Amino acid sequence: MNCDVNSVNLRIGYFCNNNCSYCMIDENKKKLLKQDKPIFLTFDKIKLQLNDLIKKKLKSITLTGGEPTIRDDFFEILYFLKQNNFVVELETNGRMFADTTFAKKTINIFPDLYFEISLLSTIPESHDMLTRVSNSWKQTTTGIKNLIKLGVTEFNIIVVITKQNYKDIKNIPQYLKSLGDVKWTIGYTFPMIQGNAKLHSVLIIPKYEQIQKYLFESIKNALNLGINFNLFNMPFCVIEDYIKYSVEFNNNLAHTDLLLYELEDSISTWNKERINSKIKCISCKSCKYFRLCEGVWNRYIKMYGVDELVPIKGKQINTLL
C-alpha cells in the first residue's frame, strides 16, 4: 500500500532521566552500544537531518528520545526548529518542566510547542514504580501545571497500560480535568513488547481481557468530560465499539505514514515496522475486520496465545466509513 509521509519521528538520543520498566527503546540502545556506535546525535548531526527534512518539505516532526529535555543543547535545538518554522510535538516525561525557569524558557523560545507527556497513574507510587524513579510523578504533574500556568492549552497524555496501573486508568480523565480546563487528549497505549517491556514482560504486560473493563470505564469517563482519546496497539475485537479511535485504523484508512529517524544509521517507516511485528491468527480470516485490523504483537501471542482473538461476525469490510 502506498502511503503519504505526513510526519517524522526524530530520535535525538537514548539518554533518559526515567528508566521505565515498559520502555521499548532499550533494545536499540544496547544494539548501538554493542556496535560501538553513539547513542545520541550531536547538534550538528541534528541540523543535517533537519535540513534534509526541509528539502523534503517535511515540517511536522515529533522530537523524541530518550528524553530530549535533558540535553545541554535542548534550547538550541528548539531555537533552530522555531527559526525554521517546524511544527513540533515534544515527546517528554515532563519532569524538567517542574523547574519554572526551564518551563518559561521553553515557552519563550517555542510558544506553540505541542506536548506529549507520559502520565501513568493518578497514584504517585504506581507511576514511580513504573518509571523506577522516585518523585517522578510529582515532577511530571508539577511540570504540566507549570506549562498550563504559562499558557499551554493543549496536551497529549500518553497512558501506557500495564499490570501495575490498569485498575487506576479510569481515574485519569477526572484527574486531568482537575489540573486545568485545557484541551486534553489521552493516548491509551498497549506496550510494544520489546526492550525493557520484553525483559519484564511477565511482570508488566497484562492480558487484553484483564484491562478491557477498566479501559472502557476510562473511555466513558473521558467522553463524559469532553476529553479526546485514541487507542494504540489494540486489536479491533478487543475495542469493537471504539475502533474508530484506533490510531492504526485511522492511519491505514488515510494512507498516511510516519518516517522514523533512528539516530543516524536508519530511516524506516512506522507502518512497516509495526506491521512486521504483528500477527493475526488463522481464525482471523473469518473476521469482519480481517482486512483492516493488524492483529497483535507477535510476542503477545507467544505469552498469552490467541484465545482472546474472537473473530467478529459479518461480511469482510475495507472501511468503516
**Site stretch for ligand SF4 (CB under 6 A), options 34-42, 170-178, 206-214, 306-314:** 306-314
User: Of these, 227, 235, 248, 274, which contacts ligand SF4 (CB under 6 A)?
Assistant: 235
Restricting to residues 49-78, name those near ligand SF4 by CB under 6 A: none
**25, 43, 172, 218, 260 from 227: Cα distances, Å:** 29, 37, 11, 11, 29
Binding residues for ligand SF4, how many (CB under 6 A)? Answer: 13
**Site stretch for ligand SF4 (CB under 6 A), options 54-62, 91-99, 189-197, 230-238:** 230-238
Distance of CA 155 to the CA centre of its chain: 13
297 makes contact with ligand SF4 (CB under 6 A): no
Helix, strand, coil in percent for the chain, rounding step 5: 45, 20, 35
Closer of 11 and 278 to ligand SF4 (Cβ): 278
User: Of these, 289, 297, 299, 300, which contacts ligand SF4 (CB under 6 A)?
Assistant: 289
245 makes contact with ligand SF4 (CB under 6 A): no
Closer of 108 and 283 to ligand SF4 (Cβ): 283
Q: How far is the CB of 6 from ligand SF4 (least distance, A)?
A: 25
> What angle (nearest 5°) sits at the alpha carbon of residue 145, between those of residues 142 and 147?
110
d(CA 61, CA 90): 9
234 makes contact with ligand SF4 (CB under 6 A): no
User: Of these, 119, 231, 237, 259, which contacts ligand SF4 (CB under 6 A)?
Assistant: 237
301 makes contact with ligand SF4 (CB under 6 A): no
200 makes contact with ligand SF4 (CB under 6 A): no
312 makes contact with ligand SF4 (CB under 6 A): yes
Restricting to residues 166-185, name those near ligand SF4 by CB under 6 A: none
Residue bearing cell 533512528: 262
d(CA 297, CA 234): 9
236 makes contact with ligand SF4 (CB under 6 A): yes
279 makes contact with ligand SF4 (CB under 6 A): no
Helix (H) or strand (E) holding 210: helix 208-224
d(CA 248, CA 293): 8
Longest dimension (CA), the chain: 58
d(CA 161, CA 229): 14
User: Of these, 284, 297, 299, 300, which contacts ligand SF4 (CB under 6 A)?
Assistant: 284
Please give the backbone phi and psi of residue 14, each rounded to the nearest 5 degrees, phi first.
Answer: -105, 0
Q: How far is the CB of 289 from ligand SF4 (least distance, A)?
A: 4
Residues 301 and 281: beta-carbon distance below 8 Å: yes
Return the axis-axis angle of helices 136-149 and 172-179, rounded to nearest 10°.
Answer: 50
Closer of 173 and 235 to ligand SF4 (Cβ): 235
User: Of these, 146, 231, 295, 299, which contacts ligand SF4 (CB under 6 A)?
Assistant: 295
Closer of 124 and 311 to ligand SF4 (Cβ): 311
Total H helices, total E strands in the chain:
13, 11
> What angle (nearest 5°) sits at the alpha carbon of residue 141, between those of residues 135 and 147?
135
Binding site for ligand SF4 (CB under 6 A): 235-237, 280, 284, 287, 289-290, 293, 295, 309, 311-312
